[in-house]
Chains A and B, each alone.
Chain A
């Protein structure tokens, strides 16, 4: 069977209509990839021959193209997709080419691109090329720069890339709903001239988003403005977000775009990264600044570069609720409350009741992992993930940068083992003369 990618790469004529005819309206997204598939399988086969380091989109892929008369031709299909945030939560989302986010478009400054857009949704759509400098009529704003693309039709955008940098694309037609449903993607433009400064060994593209998937439901609620349930990187939540792999000493760039409804202070452990660019391209080196946390504002992109240091280093939003999965936000505080016999009385009335939170919420993951507390259908527990040393009690916008001296290709290297004497450990007593 010919898949879409093969079709795009292998056929020279009529591919729009052909691909239209071969796809159902709902496309099952690929299973949550392992780090190896996330980081390598989607890399172009000819990556080593490229004048730039292609981006890797963890849990996603790069959109293939075909050259025709010197124009790079892409095809985006707007459609409903079945999406899995992590094992246990699947939804009916909207996306492009079978996934949310849509595949990353990658090109080079100066390229002429022709992007076909087929609308398989039930309502009109457009694609806005967020931050790109292009002719007015190609900006993709429904009613303003064009008539919206009706369901079932294919339209084409064509323009020359006059810039480089980290960009995004998303609908500008019923934008609130369509973005809430997952329609978005990254658009990476590499500079035509080799970049000044350190060469990038590994380049990653991460797109931040928020979702209102109420417990027990299967479709995002677009009416929610602030109280979201899931905070995602490339539409996945921890622990289903593929880690970013690198080798010790490599120059790594993490491009982060934010199409959620809230700013995210993205914090990286283990290094001071340089903030080196945005949708304005790679900044002059004099403008770079060292940070450990960078706020990625709504609608903004930022490039974070660093030299990899061995370890399994978290990269996460520092708004702590954003590193949780679905949770109630109006719960009474039970910390410090020993329900004791009252819990037994409640259990008599409501079998299965368990008092929680007397000493904090940490016990929650223990209960969940033990499997004796069933949650709502299609709903992830608030926290999860286990490391080499126990529960990590995380979720949402949290992932790991796994750095090893030597990677085995794109295979997950497992958990990092701290060298002897470099790990925190228990002591029998604290010297009495240590001031407190």
Chain B
């Protein structure tokens, strides 16, 4: 049963449709990723689900409730971490937790939440003294303080160093393991690939794809590429005869073989049979990043091919 249902959402700013007919549903217990370039409408979409924005058209149901009309029900059962939101510098971590716990009918044990998020030794620390990663983990703790059924996390790991990011990822998996449905807005493909059960790719206010991470990669035709320097010359034609190989090109003394399916095995088997050693062998396959770039036509992100 879907816990969030969005149908034909439209939000217009200054005559431009920031969100132009987005529909999706989030199933109970999954981690649902919303990815897309900056300005694609990701934040506007989730803020409409949170009841912070009034849609110009379309319908939104959160656990069967309307976020604007049934504000009380939705806010009790949906926890949010907002992009670019912070707390008072002089507020202590424990005080913030105590304060937010007082807002809800069934608050979680805030000490236990801080412990799970690795902040239990920071209870007396002022907000201004926390590191970026600690602030984000506190934002997650505050999103979970009302024992919500759904948590929406918007650009949670932006601005964090890789180590802090990985530690937050573990926290997100932990949240889902505790039975909370998670909606994750991100522009890191690595993050979406690692965490999400399903991903919705948004570009210019529209949905361009909705699939599992591996499903999105498979749409790319799963092209693979081998590059190597053969120890003994081998004819292009011999390789091209293999069913899995699509093209063979030469770059200096390097051979570049493109193919699909089991191309890696087919090529290495042929080489072994001929007694050819593939020196400096590199195998690359399409990643979610490639799928994303192909879908959004957005090539300003560094191409991050998965090297094996």
A binds B: no
